[in-house]
Amino acid sequence: MQKKFKIDFYTIKRSDSSDDQRQDEKRSDSSDDQRQDEDERIPLNDDQKQKLKDYYELLQTILVKICDNLSDICDNFHDNAIHDKFKDNFNILQERLKEFAQFMNLIINDLEAKLQKFQKEKKNRWIKAGVSTLLSII
């Protein structure tokens, strides 16, 4: 029996320590939390979403094979062919995890660049709002 897992690949939420503190202060008002969460999401592009899904499926497939191998080993402990199949699948898993880690590093770098751009835009909006407010007061 194969279990299905679901992962939301659409966005990765930005978080840093100052955001965590602000989140703690705002927990009393859930609508503010929800709006803030929506405003601070950095979307993945379609290519990144598809690659994440592909890696997820590859990893899930090999993990299912490893679980099946372990089950077979329990049933037929003295069968060396089963042990060899397990080792092969485990080596495949290690290679897939290396590929996945490299891909995740690319995504992290991309998201860090998007985050810096987002922070600059946010700062510029605050400055413009402050200047606008000052000009309207004067």
Find tokens 């049933």 and name the residue.
75
Residue 120's pLDDT band, with cuts at 50, 70 and 90, is: very high
DSSP 29: -
Find tokens 């490299």 and name the residue.
102
Q: What is the mean pLDDT of residues 18-42?
A: 50
Question: What's the sign of the alpha-carbon dihedral 97, 98, 102, 105?
Answer: positive
What are the tens digits of pLDDT across the range 46-100? 888 888 888 888 888 888 888 888 888 888 878 888 888 888 888 888 888 888 8
Percent composition of the chain: helix, strand, coil (DSSP 3-state, to 5): 80, 5, 15
Q: Which of 54, 44, 57 is nearest to 106 (CA)?
A: 44
The helix (H) or strand (E) run that includes residue 73 is helix 46-75
What SS3 class is residue 45?
coil
